[in-house]
Structure 1
Amino acid sequence: MDKKTTLKIADLAKIEISNNELEEIASNLTKILKLVDEMNTISTDNIEPMAHPLNFTQRLRKDEVLENNQRNEFQKNCKYTDDGYYIVPKIID
């Protein structure tokens, strides 16, 4: 990858690159693109997609309600409530 393209990519990504870093970053980007090209040559036609490389399933517990609805009890501690809602001062017009 040439320096001009590297600077263009850096500009699009809003990254500042000094002249000292430019050559190294261009070289690294070239290596990354070569690796991607190499991976694209591998045939994946008969490969089944998978979400995770291991065949494990999580054992989840059954969802159980452990607490009752205590809204009315909590609202007894507040002066300003209406129909289950807390009344607060208006802040934004």
Structure 2
Amino acid sequence: MRALLTSLTLLSAISLSSAAFAASTTTGTIRAYDAQAMTLTLKNGTKFLLPGGFKDPGLKVGERVTVAYQTMGNKHRAMAVTPLTP
């Protein structure tokens, strides 16, 4: 019984920790892009912090993009930004 309880506790901890770091995606139009501050803001007001090694694919204000991100606390950390083709 103790072994079963230990296994279930461990499984629950792993499930909860991976859910906390699950990636989400959103699509929107760029309101602002600041390469110096490493931030991207969509028209809906959502602000993303870009990763340190982010390579700008030529992002422009008004362009539609898909952003893959993780939420950590109250911040959105972008993992990938992909321009959408018209």
Q: What TM-score comes out, normalization by structure 2 length?
A: 0.28
Q: What TM-score comes out, normalization by structure 1 length?
A: 0.26
More helix by share: 1
Larger Cα-atom Rg: 1
More strand by share: 2
